Structure 1
Amino acid sequence: MSYLLSSSRLIPVAAMLGAVGLLAGCAAGGGSSTATTVTVVSPVVSPVATTVTVDNTTAPGGLMPLGNADKEEKTRRQNEPADLMVDNIRVGDHPTFERVVFDLTGYGKPSWFITYTDAPSYPGSGHPVQITGDSFLDVNIDGIAFTLRDDMVPQDFSTRQLPDSIITEIADTGIFEGRHSFVIGITGDRRPYSVDLLDNPTRLVIDVLKR
């Protein structure tokens, strides 16, 4: 089961996604699928409801999470400068974990600082983030463009509620000083997670274990 999170104001949101082909960067396999429709609400200045088509596909063989999963903070600093933009977010459900993929465009590789927090807040203002969940993963992606180039289309990833998922919601808390920040709401206690970077195209991947 996979979901596409995109701007409700700038680009279409409806999509039918395969959990393996789009979220793992691997070849899609067989499996049965049924499409259902859910409604997500974007709590911006005035609520905007968007209909999203969900493709419930079972990945054959079972996909394994990337990297080493634990509950500790994850950070990486790149030596080379970057000029990037997050242009898509995808969430996929697998037998033992759920995956969040941040698709990035531009040049260079992102740095990141990711950790659990008890009180998620907006960068700069410090105002609390209203988000569903019991545990909260604070995701900070560095190397974001200060000024958009002509080939960059700005996106607005508003808060989305995800049905039937340990990842309850993802909140876009904005860009501040070259850093794009998000909060991932998770059911239950803090769960082990891993972070990895994939190339061609550039993707930051967070796998959250279900155990």
Structure 2
Amino acid sequence: MTRRPAFLTASIAAGALALASCGTPEEDPAPISTSATPSSTVEEETNSEESNSPEPSPEDTETDAPADDSSQEETSAPEEEPSPAEEASDGSQAEGESHHVDRSEFSRETTATEGFPGTPGAPAEIQHLVEVRVGQHEGYDRVVFEHNGPSELGYQVEYVDSPTDPQLAEPIDVPGEAFISIGVAGLGLPTSNFDSVLSGPIEGVDTRSQLVYGVHALSPFEAQSTYFIGVDQQRDFRVQVLEDPVRLVVDLAH
């Protein structure tokens, strides 16, 4: 009877030691496999992907304001063909002219309005030269003399041996090998702002055309003025007067 309790006590002690040796320690070593991602890292990556996503959320899509109708019309509407009376600031767009060029309208003969130096109608207001433009076109180059008023003009266009001031009878230095004189009637000087009157040599015209070497404009005197075009050689020309604003146009055939 005395041995059995001792045996049981020894067995219980041995079992306790075995259980103690199989228990999990308080500090485990780091796991060998690193394929598993901690949950906190997964949440951070998910949030990062959502913040960097280029696609708008449904809420953003629903709350976006529609584009302005007027801006859509401006961008989607096809460009309109320029009217015949329109031209670019450098004169490069056809002015009062279709793409077809009627060569029968060009000549080297003197061209004038009826009764020059009279004007076709009574001047509506004093007007003067404000701008000269030169441009290249298919079949001809164009020189545009723009005036600041709506009045009709009388003109006489012809070749001359050399540019001369008709009032002073003095020669005028105009670059070129041949010279076109353009007498204009129906002009006048303003009562103020004389700087708005374009006169003298016109700068930069020689860079716009291989035919035109220079342009010179005289100030109005007694309702008349004279403009000169220096060209590379005598060429057939055509003259037109366009309105809104008044423009005297000289085309030089290639």
- TM-score w.r.t. the length of structure 1 is 0.65
Which amino acid in the other structure matches residue 162 of structure 2?
A: A
Q: Is residue 2:171 matched to residue 1:128?
A: yes
Q: What are the within-5 Å matches in structure 2 for residues 147-158 of structure 1?
A: 147-148=189-190, 154-158=196-200
| 1:94–1:138 distance in 2 versus 1, CA, 3 Å | same
Residues of 1 paired with 2:165 and 2:241: CA distance?
Answer: 25
Give, as a single letter, the amino acid of the residue that structure 2 aligns with 1:19: S
How far apart, in 2, do the equivalents of 1:115 and 1:136 lie?
A: 8
Structure 2 residue aligned with 1:138:
181
Q: Which residue of 88, 109, 121 maps to 1:72?
A: 109
Alpha-carbon separation, structure 2, partners of 1:199 and 1:66: 23
Partner AA of 1:208 in structure 2: L
Q: 1:200 and 1:106, CA in 2 relative to 1: closer, same or farther beyond 3 A?
A: closer
> How far, CA to CA, are the matches of 1:104 and 1:203 in structure 2?
6
* Distance in 1 between residues matched to 2:121 and 2:194, nearest whole Å: 20
SS of 2:146 mapped into structure 1: strand
Question: Is the 8 Å Cα contact of residues 133 and 185 (structure 1) preserved in structure 2?
Answer: yes
Query: Are 1:166 and 2:211 counterparts?
Result: yes
Report SS of the residue matched to 1:19.
coil
Q: 1:69 to 1:18 in 2, by over 3 A?
A: closer
Task: Determine the C-alpha separation between the residues in 2 that align with 1:18 and 1:62.
Answer: 15
SS of 1:200's equivalent in the other structure is coil
Q: Does structure 2 retain, via aligned residues, the 8 Å contact 1:66–1:195?
A: no
Q: Higher mean Cα deviation, 158-167 or 62-71?
A: 62-71
2:95 is the alignment partner of 1:24: yes
Which of 241, 245, 248 in structure 2 is aligned with 1:197?
241
Aligned 1:109-120 pairs, distance under 5 A: 109-120=152-163
Code of the aligned partner of 2:160: T
User: Could you say which residue in structure 2 is the equivalent of 1:185?
Assistant: 230
Give distance in 2, aligned partners of 1:174 and 1:19: 26
What whole-Å deviation, never above 9, does each CA across 1:140-162 have from its counterpart, x for those lacking one?
Answer: 111002x4156986323331351
Higher strand share: 1
What corresponds to 1:12 in structure 2? none
SS in 1 for 2:198: coil
Look up the equivalent residue of 1:73 and give its one-letter code: T
Confirm whether residue 96 of structure 1 aligns to residue 139 of structure 2: yes
Q: Which has the higher contact order (CA 8 A, sep 6+)?
A: 1
Q: Count matched residues.
A: 158
- What is the aligned-residue identity percentage? 21
Report the structure number with the largest CA radius of gyration: 2
- TM-score normalised per structure 2: 0.55
Partners of 1:151 and 1:176 in 2: CA distance: 17
Q: Matches of residues 31-70 of structure 1 in structure 2 within 5 Å? A: 62=99, 64=101, 68-70=105-107
CA distance in 1, matches of 2:104, 2:153: 17
- Mark the CA change 1:198 to 1:152 in structure 2 (over 3 Å): closer, same or farther: farther
The unaligned stretches of length 5 or more in structure 1 are 1-14, 27-60
Q: Which structure is higher in helix share?
A: 2
Contact 2:120 2:154 in 1 (8 A): no
